[in-house]
Amino acid sequence: NPVAMIGKVLTDVSKSILREYPDTSIVPVLGNNDAFLDYRLTIEEVPNALLELAADKLEGLLRDGEMETFRTGGYYSRNVGPNILLIALNTLIYSSKHSPDETHIIDPFNQFAWLEQTLTQAQTQTSPNSVKVYIVGHIPPTISSYRKNQYWHDQYLDVYFRIVERYDDMIAAQLYGHAHSDEFRVLRYPHNITNSNSDNKIMPPLLMNGALTPVSGNNPNFRLVKYHPEDLLITDYDTYVLTLNEDGAEPALFNKPTWGKSDSFHDSFNVPDVSITSLQTVLTRLSSGNNDLNRDNNPTMNTLLTRIQAGVPQPPCEWSCRMTWVCTFQSITHAEYRQCMDAEMGGSTIGSLEASENSSFLSVRFAHPVLTVLLGVFVCLLVVVLGVLSYRIRGERTGYEPHNRGVAVNTDDEDPNILNDEPTIQLRPIT
């Protein structure tokens, strides 16, 4: 029963958090795996069964004034400190994988109208520049570093960034998850939505947290963010890691893994803070040295590789690989990524590069057709044999009910995120 399973997970997680952090303000947000089916949330269903269930199970974490908008749209806002406003968005409804297809709805759940109203109120009810807003969500408005597909539909990206650009003096940062890796974005507003006279205006930092679940091969990790008590901007963050194994494999029997703190962002990249200027500095270092004989060994890229999956070793990333990261970190849409790669490497190389990223068997298939056919026949026979054995074993089990096993199956071929991994983010002022 997927409904009962989701309800139990939300209840158990809520109780655990409240037990361990009874005096901490916890701001939960919806992710794609919180749905009964991955990415599925029917916008036109009123009242909405999923949102009603989530609101009931998160009652201890959500406050009375937040329940109304959460039940109707899965979003709300909260003041978490002096002059700090957190806005929790429901980004599932903007996802390019959201189902059913309801892209005819201009403003799903009226969230954009609410977002602009909330920002306007924060702007008018306080003195200028005294309030800082942190936008928090699960699915970020950018592209995936895995297959370079864009996470949001174009029409919703346009509306979102128009609002962000209008209030970006107030917005300290955009905090998202979903990718299961420690990443950031340095994004520029598209020309068609810029309200200022300056072209290529850079938006507030977009930070993407790692994951507690190790399902994507990463070590479990969470982030502790530090901010300045005066300007309320993020100065640094520490990542705490549960090292399962050096290569990300399961730990040996009776070998209890332990939590440890990795180098902070400041220490890892030798930058003063996590401002957009510092992120640009990191990006510039990633882009540098392209004409050097040693261009395949970029120190900043090596540092990035150690942080992406929280200490799990990554394959070497030569110059062409490094350029894919440089373009990913600057792209809102897949089209922007293609344009960036064309500028960095030339259009003739993009197709072969992306093909090699998406399928390691392409070269085998074209270079050795006979071997490929034999391999295909062998795989088919192996699948049949395993299927027969599995059927016999299951038939011998009494009371076997496949629909009640409670096993989460990953049907997402774009992003390997099976479990809900919404990052735990704590904001701590510097003392």
**Mean pLDDT, rounded, for 8-37:** 92
Burial of 51 (0-12, 13-18, 19+ CB in 10 A): buried
Answer with the residue of higher pLDDT: 146 or 397: 146
How far apart CA 260 and CA 352 sit, in angstroms, is 40
Res. 332: pLDDT tops 60: yes
Place of tokens 């703190």: 261
**H helix runs in 2-153, sequence order:** 2-20, 49-57, 64-73, 111-124
- The mean pLDDT of the chain is 82
**What pTM does this model have?**
0.80
Strands lying side by side in the sheet with 76-81: 76-81, 84-88, 132-136, 171-176, 206-208, 183-185
Q: What is the pLDDT of residues 201-253, one digit of tens each?
A: 899 999 999 999 998 889 999 999 999 999 999 999 999 999 886 655 555 55
The mean pLDDT value for 297-323 works out to: 92
The pLDDT of residue 195? 59
Q: Are strands 259-261 and 76-81 parallel, antiparallel or unpaired?
A: unpaired
